[in-house]
Amino acid sequence: MVKSLFLTGIGVCGKTVLSYGLITKFKQEGIKTTYFKPVTVVRKRILIEEEVSVDSDVLTMKEALGLPEPFDVISPCSLPEKYIDIEVLGKKSEFESQIREAFKEISSNKDLVIVEGHKSPDALFSVGLSDPQVAKILGSKMLLVTVYDDELAIDQLLAHKHFIEMHNVELIGVILNNVPLEMVKRAEETVAHFLNQKGLKVLGVIPQRAELTAPTVREIAGTLEAEILEGEEYLDNVVEDILCGAMSPEAALRWFRRTVNCLIVTGGDRTDLILTALETKPSAIVLTGNLYPTVKVLTMAREKKVPVLLVPYDTYTTVELLRKAQSVVTAETLKKKHSMIEQAISEHVSWREILKNVLG
């Protein structure tokens, strides 16, 4: 069976971006590498054609990598959101067969398959399709990925290490991703030493880099299906933070000045607040409730080179949609940030050691 590396992670930790980076890096080294996501849940799927929907990560990777295989081969097993229903429980062997057959097809003429897992190693354990259980079906070695920004991440890593090893699957190590700059030294020295002592090899410490992980105004506008009222030429502005303008202009100004590359959400009728926000040159302003702003607002936005977007939702719903949009990775994002992703892998990940561990 073709060798495979199964990336499992904790929460929104960058597995898709890391999968893309490793695949492209390994291809540069002459290793025929491809992508596989054996199990998805319907709540993460998006409509692409009439009555045809696919997992958003699978759609992204198929487009970004130019994968020739159909979606049902790249991701053969789809579970409903309420996956503990009896009809799902009775299909475990059928799902395993689908996964094996699809893996056989996608790994044909390949040296290595990068497999992407769920939002945590123990997800879908109740139906026998957790990451370690699927990794065992494929004969994969596993690599943990987590965002490291506090010590709780260490406890979670060690708990998941124990869970993975309970299934007799080899865990080759962990990558600490999106590490705040002030914590990089601690991650590389103290944390790495501690985890090594616990039998968990640190194979990468990737520093936080806003331009690599943050979405652009263009991507956010697409996700929200927003109307662009002004500043279409500045949609490539990066959005690092979101502020909700629901206070007086005087109170809001203090917060606006503290943020960099901020997107501000407020109602189109809050002219005083919008004008105050524009003075601080945010990445963009999103106006809610389909309330069009005054001509004065649009004129000032043009002068300040700030995009202004309009959406039909209320402010709370808009902010919730924006939070979700921040975790969505598109093929356009990967292609545009290809060189940055490649640099992060080359400089901060022990990719040669990963290859040696997996390919032998």
The pLDDT tens digits for 307-339 are 999 999 988 888 888 877 766 778 888 888 899
* pTM of the complete model beyond 0.75: yes
Half-sphere exposure of 262 (CA within 13 A, CB side): 21
Tokens at 330, concatenated: 């598109």
Query: Cα(272)–Cα(191) distance, rounded to whole angstroms?
Result: 48
> What confidence tens digit (pLDDT) does each residue in 251-274 have?
677 777 777 788 999 988 889 889
d(CA 36, CA 103): 8
Q: Quote the distance between the C-alpha of residue 185 and its chain's center.
A: 24
pLDDT above 50: residue 45: no
68 and 110 Cβ atoms separated by less than 8 Å? no
Q: Do the Cβ atoms of 37 and 118 come closer than 8 Å?
A: no
Is a pLDDT exceeding 60 seen at residue 46? no
Residue 329's identity, in one-letter code, is: V
For residue 1, is pLDDT > 80?
no
**138-192: pLDDT as tens digits:** 999 999 999 998 899 999 999 999 999 999 999 999 999 999 999 999 999 999 9
3-class DSSP assignment, residue 185: helix
Residue identified by tokens 């009728």 is 269
Question: CA-CA distance, 131 to 88, in Å (whole number)?
Answer: 17
Can you list the domains of the chain with their CATH numbers? 3-212+329-359 (3.40.50.300), 215-325 (3.40.1390.20)
Give pLDDT tens digits for 192-215. 999 999 999 999 999 988 777 778
pLDDT (tens digit, 9 = 90+) per residue, 113-135? 999 998 899 999 988 999 999 99
Cβ atoms within 10 A of the Cβ of 59, count?
A: 19
Q: How much is the pLDDT for 92? A: 78
pLDDT score recorded for residue 50: 45
The span from the CA of 277 to the CA of 271, in Å, is 10
Enclosing H/E stretch for 141 = strand 141-147
pLDDT attached to residue 82: 80
Task: Report helix, strand or coil for 224.
Answer: helix
Q: E strand or H helix at 286, and its extent?
A: strand 284-288
Res. 43: pLDDT tops 70: no
